[in-house]
Amino acid sequence: MPGELVDDVVMIRDEKEASQIYNKGFYGYPLSGGALELDMLEACYLLETGRIEILQNRKPLTFSQMIRLSATTCEGFEINYIVYRDLRQRGYVVKPDTGDFDFRVFPRGGTPTTSQTKYWVLAVAERSIFDIKSFLEEMTRSERTRKELLLGIVDEEGDITYYKASRSVMGGQSIEGSIPQTEGVLFEDRVMVLDDDEAETLYRHGFFGKKLGKVLQLSLIETAYLMGLGKMKLRAPGTNRGVNLAGFVRKAIKIQPDFELRLRAYSDMRKKGLIVKTGFKYGAHFRVYESDPENHHAKYLVHAIPEDYKAMWPEISRAVRLAHGVKKEILFGRVSESDVQYVKLRRVRP
């Protein structure tokens, strides 16, 4: 006995069929009286896989007709269906969520009666916007229930990339107290420590800068950080006159408009005892080491982003993919007045 399309649900009224469909895969919502109510996603999937028939006005619907009907009545149906179908095909029990997320997924082999939710899932179109503010709200909701947040990003051809999102807490021992006092000379867009001994000592304390022969080159960010700690006196090359922090930052902003944003993230990580170097080679703001960069690889790539950061998903995808390719973790460091919060995105195969 086939199901019947009633408004935007499909009813399976035959008690035996209803219980079979529910018990094998936990599709639908059992009603008192023995019938089963399927939502459009579930009904489309069961129709596509040949497990049910669906009648509308006593005539059977084809899969094409059901897709067409669903897509015209439910917003974002195609995107949801593509992710739902993929997770089902991977063997998960997936239930549509009526709250903040699109689906809940149970652990492999688990069911709504035996297991807790493993993932909250959001199905996202490649063309939608990544908004760090609402993204963090979703993460907070997900964390409150101690579940993982899984994103299924659907590209324009229907391929899905999955990301797991989490907060990252980096940290170690701060070395700020032991940084030596140094004098630097300001050139166009970099600072040089010209005294051989000072250059060597500063480099050895926290791996600041890069040696050019016996001279040490410092980036603008490194210089501003050291000046902020009161560890560096800066001079102009021709006149030898002192340059103060405020004047230096004004100059740096002209060269790099987002200088203060980056400096906040840089200082936050340095304060946590991490060794932070430019991420230019990886197209990121920073590469970050947990220990000695001469003998270890960088563990993280970090982008500093403003509180109200918005980007297109392909941009985010590029950053995650790149970090993945060089075996590093990508963190987006959201800089606010009070702190920096690090969001980690990791590509996964669920």
User: Known catalytic residues?
Assistant: 289, 297, 328
CA distance 325 to 2: 49
Residue 194 Cβ vs a second copy, minimum distance, rounded to whole Å: 4
Q: Of 56 and 217, which has the nearer Cβ to a second copy?
A: 217
Residue 15 Cβ vs a second copy, minimum distance, rounded to whole Å: 29
Choose which of 281, 296, 297, 310 interacts with a second copy (CB under 8 A).
Answer: 281
Residues 189-248 that bind a second copy (CB under 8 A): 189-190, 192, 194-195, 209-210, 212-215, 217-222, 237-238
Who's near 145: CB < 8 A, 6+ residues apart?
117, 120
Q: Of 121 and 185, which has the nearer Cβ to a second copy?
A: 185
**Is there binding between residue 76 and a second copy (CB under 8 A)?**
yes
Who's near 8: CB < 8 A, 6+ residues apart?
39, 40, 73, 74
Determine how many CB atoms are found less than 10 A away from the CB of residue 300.
Answer: 24
**Is there binding between residue 256 and a second copy (CB under 8 A)?**
yes
Q: Of 194 and 229, which has the nearer Cβ to a second copy?
A: 194
Q: Of 137 and 189, which has the nearer Cβ to a second copy?
A: 189
Instruction: For the chain, report the end-to-end CA distance as a whole number of angstroms.
Output: 35
**218 residue type, one letter:** L
**Is there binding between residue 183 and a second copy (CB under 8 A)?**
no
CB contact at 8 A, 291 and 311: no
Determine how many CB atoms are found less than 10 A away from the CB of residue 333.
Answer: 26
CA distance 151 to 121: 6
Name the nearest CA neighbour of 55 among 65, 68, 70, 41: 65
Residues 135-164 that bind a second copy (CB under 8 A): 153, 155-159, 161
Query: Where do contacts with a second copy occur on this chain (CB under 8 A)?
Result: 48, 63-64, 67-68, 71-72, 76, 78, 81-82, 85, 125-127, 153, 155-159, 161, 185, 187-190, 192, 194-195, 209-210, 212-215, 217-222, 237-238, 255-256, 277-278, 280-284, 313-315, 317-319, 321-322, 325-326
